[in-house]
Structure 1
Amino acid sequence: MMNYLHGLLLFSVLALVVVNIVPVHAQECKLCIAKEFYRQGDAIVISGKVDAVLEKTPIIIQIFYGTNIVNIAQVEVSQDGSYTHTVIADGIYWKSDGKYTVKATYGVSGNVYETSFDFQTSGTANTTTQIFEVKAGDSGTFDVPYTIRGGVVKDIIVDPQILGFIVTIQSDNDGSLTLDLGRKWIDAKTTTGDDDSFIIYIDGSEVQYQESADADSRVLTIQFLEGDSDIEIIGTQVIPEFGPIAVIVLVLAITLTVIISTKKTSLLRFS
């Protein structure tokens, strides 16, 4: 009798466990995506199941970045109410990193299901942060920390004629370049000593930029397009072209010229 009661109790417990588990597994996803994060070029698999099938009625699936529609499609719904749609995350509308929203609308009543995923462009995946050693003539070299997305920094040179730097890049995609410019190397000042704006050219065309600054440096962020090459950063002062040795040589040359000129003048007076 005791064994029978133990068996009955065990059966009752198992029955309760089964009853509690089945609804969880039986619950259908209205709108699901295979992953929470995608990179440019990935296949985004969207699937789900509607409550009631409407004959010859597709489900409308839209992908948004903010308020902008990135992708829209009419997807056939199977007889069991399920649907599947695959989107390749690439093209002219997949240009920004961040959260993308997926919305599925079905039926005249407008049942809307919603989910989201995070997306990263190939340009962001190819972000590089390094320090570039810039040659400054007889003054030696100095470092320029930088971060570039969508390209590679090939060279940075000082150009005293424009009171600035020329940065040469290889831009494989649209991207951005952030440069940490020490004020002792380059700066832009007004006549009253206040910070002035730099003038930035990319391949001859003036462009805007973003900036943050402190007492020691000015950090510029410049957006560029695929194929851009030369970035000119023009200020009002740049590290001198001539270092101490060259300055001494220049002073001696000027002094010698003055002496020679003085001697010639003296000879002309006595001739």
Structure 2
Amino acid sequence: MGSRIFYSLIALLIITTGTVFAQEPLISVQTDDNHYDEGDTVVVSGNVKTVIGETPVILQLFTEGNLVDIAQLTVAQDGSFTKTFLAEGALWKKSGDYTIVASYQEHQIETEFSYAPKSEAIETTEPYEVDAGSHGTFDVEYTIKGGTVKNMVVDSDIFAVIVQIDATDEGTITLDLPREFIGAEKQDGKDDTFIILIDGIEVAYQESVVNSDSRVITINFEQGDSDIEIIGTYVVPEFGTIAMVVLIVGIMATVIVTRNKLQIKI
């Protein structure tokens, strides 16, 4: 009885071990992103577990069953390989899913990514009415690619405009910031740099246009990003239109009271 149990356990161990080894592919492959737009660089990398002499890895790129590109790669001594494809040209016209097939001897593995040509890239350009609380509202012209703008609000405590986005893909947003309501200035009145935070992390930005009325900045974002904070040295100046009216009314009231007092004394 004991022998039967022993041999049964040995057989089970062999089957289990064989299954584990069978589940481990000899070759792996992946891309550096899940989506690309026309003009992007597709970086493909992978690894083979066992290097077999000078056997190359064959990469084939397909969409809807049509061959888009093919490459033969030399495998490094550590089993790694890499290849870049430029996503443009006559064969990169269709949007949708693209499949990379990596072959090493009789072994194959696949990975997919999505692609969109420029003609189908969604880009939105329109003004957004920003709520400035007691100061009313003001418009910010913007262009966004790779997502949509959900809201823009003022945070006067940190001198910021916060842009809330739904980033369905990596993309960019360009904002035309009116100097009357938000700006970044040095003590001498010259332009200073904005501080840009995306979900609490500081990022760089590009400034393309600077004029007397506004500053135009462009910010890159990643898929899944949500809050973009544009922090300056002022936002909705304390003495805006409403505050100025209140100030003038207060000065006029003070003048009238002063005159009345003088007349009473006389």
Per the normalisation by structure 1, the TM-score is 0.50
Aligned-pair identity in percent equals 45
What pairs with 1:110-189 in structure 2 (closer than 5 Å)? 119-120=117-118, 125-189=121-185
- 8 Å contact kept, 1:59–1:74: no
Instruction: Give per-residue Cα distances to partners, 1:96-116, cap 9 Å, x unaligned.
Output: x8xxxxxxxxxxxxxxxxxxx
Counterpart pick for 1:234 among 221, 224, 231: 231
CA drift of 1:214 comes to 2.3
* Unaligned runs of at least 5 residues, structure 2: 1-36, 41-61, 74-82, 88-98, 105-109, 255-266
- 8 Å contact kept, 2:196–2:231: yes
| Alignment pair present for 1:221 and 2:215 | no
Q: Which residue of 2 aligns with 1:43?
A: 64
CA distance in 1, matches of 2:180, 2:240: 14
Alpha carbons of 1:60 and 1:164: their partners in 2 closer, same or farther (altered >3 Å)? Answer: same
Alpha carbons of 1:185 and 1:72: their partners in 2 closer, same or farther (altered >3 Å)? Answer: same
- 8 Å contact kept, 1:147–1:177: yes
Counterpart pick for 1:90 among 113, 130, 135: 113
CA drift of 1:170 comes to 1.0
Determine helix, strand or coil for the equivalent of 1:172.
strand
Determine helix, strand or coil for the equivalent of 2:113.
coil
CA distance in 2, matches of 1:244, 1:205: 34
CA drift of 1:129 comes to 1.2
CA drift of 1:246 comes to 5.0
Alpha carbons of 1:44 and 1:222: their partners in 2 closer, same or farther (altered >3 Å)? Answer: farther
Alpha carbons of 1:225 and 1:44: their partners in 2 closer, same or farther (altered >3 Å)? Answer: farther
CA drift of 1:136 comes to 2.7
Alpha carbons of 1:60 and 1:221: their partners in 2 closer, same or farther (altered >3 Å)? Answer: same
Alpha carbons of 1:220 and 1:240: their partners in 2 closer, same or farther (altered >3 Å)? Answer: same
Return the letter of the residue paired with 1:154: K
CA distance in 1, matches of 2:71, 2:198: 46
| Alignment pair present for 1:64 and 2:102 | no
Determine helix, strand or coil for the equivalent of 2:192.
coil
- 8 Å contact kept, 1:63–1:72: no
Q: Which residue of 2 aligns with 1:109?
A: none
Larger Rg: 1
CA drift of 1:125 comes to 1.5
**How many residues are aligned here?**
171
CA distance in 1, matches of 2:65, 2:118: 13
Alpha carbons of 1:137 and 1:43: their partners in 2 closer, same or farther (altered >3 Å)? Answer: same
Determine helix, strand or coil for the equivalent of 1:90.
strand
CA distance in 2, matches of 1:242, 1:192: 19
CA distance in 2, matches of 1:242, 1:46: 64
- 8 Å contact kept, 2:147–2:169: yes
CA drift of 1:135 comes to 2.3
Determine helix, strand or coil for the equivalent of 1:197.
coil
CA distance in 2, matches of 1:159, 1:227: 22
Please give the root-mean-square deviation of Cα atoms over the aligned residues, in Å.
Answer: 4.3
Instruction: Give per-residue Cα distances to partners, 1:114-142, cap 9 Å, x unaligned.
Output: xxxxx449xx7222111101123344322
Determine helix, strand or coil for the equivalent of 1:177.
strand
Alpha carbons of 1:244 and 1:210: their partners in 2 closer, same or farther (altered >3 Å)? Answer: closer
Counterpart pick for 1:196 among 166, 177, 192: 192
Alpha carbons of 1:45 and 1:145: their partners in 2 closer, same or farther (altered >3 Å)? Answer: same
Per the normalisation by structure 2, the TM-score is 0.51
CA drift of 1:74 comes to 6.1
CA distance in 2, matches of 1:195, 1:207: 19
Alpha carbons of 1:182 and 1:42: their partners in 2 closer, same or farther (altered >3 Å)? Answer: farther
Determine helix, strand or coil for the equivalent of 2:193.
coil
CA distance in 1, matches of 2:242, 2:236: 15
* Unaligned runs of at least 5 residues, structure 1: 1-36, 49-57, 76-86, 98-118, 257-271
